[in-house]
Structure 1
Amino acid sequence: MKKQELIHLHGLLSEVRAEYEDAPEPELDLTGYEEFGVQPTSIHRSKTDHKRAVFELIHGLTDSLDEKEAVPATAD
């Protein structure tokens, strides 16, 4: 994945984060992401930094989803 594509993905995940935080009871633990300090707008940072930030953000989002009650998948 190219750096530009990674920055785009980082921006999209940040939008997902913003939508999730607008939920009635957001339970995100993004301390690892926030402590790392790389934002989608940090275009001067390296590709490796954005890759780590994306993984930190993904882990924070998915960990909070794992804690919620799972909805069984059914086909109609």
Structure 2
Amino acid sequence: MQKEELLHLHMLLVHIKKYYEGTTGEEVPTDQYNALHISPVHIHKNKISHKKAILTLGGEVVQHIRSHHNPYIGHQHDVRSEGVMTEH
């Protein structure tokens, strides 16, 4: 993966976290991510640092969601969307 792609993915995860917090009113604790002292705008940092930040932030968001929401409650599977295919 190119560095530019990692930066975009890093920014996307930050936006996902902020969106989740805004829609649920829950704060996602990201102590491990914050300890890395890296953000998507730190373009001077190397690819390895951004990969670690992406994995750390993603892990903390997923861990928070799993610990605060029962995965078997409130999920409705939309059968109509399964059979839809698009042609390019």
Identity value in percent: 28
For 2:86, the equivalent position in structure 1 comes to none
Native 8 Å contact 1:27 1:64 kept in 2: no
Gaps of 5+ in 2: 81-88
Question: How many residues were matched structurally?
Answer: 76
For 2:45, the equivalent position in structure 1 comes to 45
2:70 aligned with 1:69, yes or no? Answer: yes
Cα RMSD, aligned residues only? 1.6
Tell me which of the two structures has the higher relative contact order, counting C-alpha pairs closer than 8 angstroms and 6 or more residues apart: 1
For 2:28, the equivalent position in structure 1 comes to 28
Q: Which has the greater radius of gyration?
A: 2
Which letter does structure 2 place at the counterpart of 1:69? Answer: N
Q: Where do 4+ consecutive residues of structure 1 move more than 3 Å?
A: 71-76
Please give the TM-score of this superposition, normalised by the length of structure 2. 0.76
Summarize deviations over 1:56-76 as a string: whole Å, max 9, x none.
110011001111121445347
Which letter does structure 2 place at the counterpart of 1:13? Answer: L
Deviation of 1:23 (Å)? 3.2
